[in-house]
């Protein structure tokens, strides 16, 4: 179990790298194709999926709460479960947008494979936009730049 937590933690760290300090608008550039993690975003692999939120993940960047956190959703679709990285939680808090388990969401994003280590790869979606019945949020532009 410890190994599983370590592997999952490593995956989350790699997938959210570049998020730290995103409370400042200038740091949102880290989410774009030229940023520290934006290189994972592939405009050729953008698809739209619809499903139900299974879990809402608020993943802190470190021990210091001032570093902020990355918001992700585990979404159940007709094809299985998918981990969807939305972006800095502060971005959604400022917009007053929150997600709950059971909510139906539509996500358009880049489906990519992230390999934090040579023996661990995970298929994830880096969201471009997300919508529910109540709201729609644009997160990134056409090439993955954070808005």
Q: Pick from 20-34, 72-86, 108-122 the range whose average pLDDT is largest.
A: 72-86
Euclidean distance between the first and the last CA atom of the chain, given in angstroms as a whole number: 38
Q: Give the helix/strand (H/E) hosting 75.
A: strand 69-77
Q: Is 145 inside any structural domain?
A: no
Instruction: Evaluate whether 56 touches 99 at the Cβ level (below 8 Å).
Output: yes
With 80 as the cut, is the pLDDT of residue 32 above it? no
Q: Is 129 inside any structural domain?
A: yes
Q: Pick the closest to residue 112 from 5, 17, 39, 4 (CA basis).
A: 39
Q: Is 147 inside any structural domain?
A: no
Q: Is 7 inside any structural domain?
A: yes
Q: Is 83 inside any structural domain?
A: yes
Distances (CA, A) of 73 to 37, 58, 64, 83, 101: 18, 9, 22, 6, 9
Instruction: Render pLDDT for 83-139 as a digit per residue (tens, 0 to 9).
Output: 999 988 889 999 999 999 999 999 999 998 877 666 677 788 999 999 999 999 999
What's the total number of domains in the chain? 1
Q: Against a cut of 0.85, is the pTM above it? A: no
Domain that holds residue 75: 2-138
Q: Is 143 inside any structural domain?
A: no
CATH number of the domain at 104, please.
Answer: 2.40.50.140
């Amino acid at each position: 179990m410890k190994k599983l937590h370590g592997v999952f933690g490593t995956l989350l760290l790699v997938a959210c790298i570049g998020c730290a300090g995103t409370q400042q608008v200038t740091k949102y550039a880290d989410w774009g194709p030229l940023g520290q993690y934006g290189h994972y975003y592939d405009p050729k692999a953008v698809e739209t999926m619809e499903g139900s939120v299974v879990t809402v993940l608020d993943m802190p960047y470190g021990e210091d709460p001032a570093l902020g956190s990355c918001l992700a959703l585990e979404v159940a679709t007709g094809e299985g479960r998918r981990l969807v990285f939305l972006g800095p939680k502060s971005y959604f808090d400022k917009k007053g947008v929150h997600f709950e388990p059971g909510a139906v969401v539509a996500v358009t994003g880049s489906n990519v494979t992230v390999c934090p280590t040579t023996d661990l790869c995970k298929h994830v979606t880096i969201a471009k936009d997300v919508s529910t019945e109540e709201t729609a949020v644009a997160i990134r532009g056409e090439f993955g730049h954070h808005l």
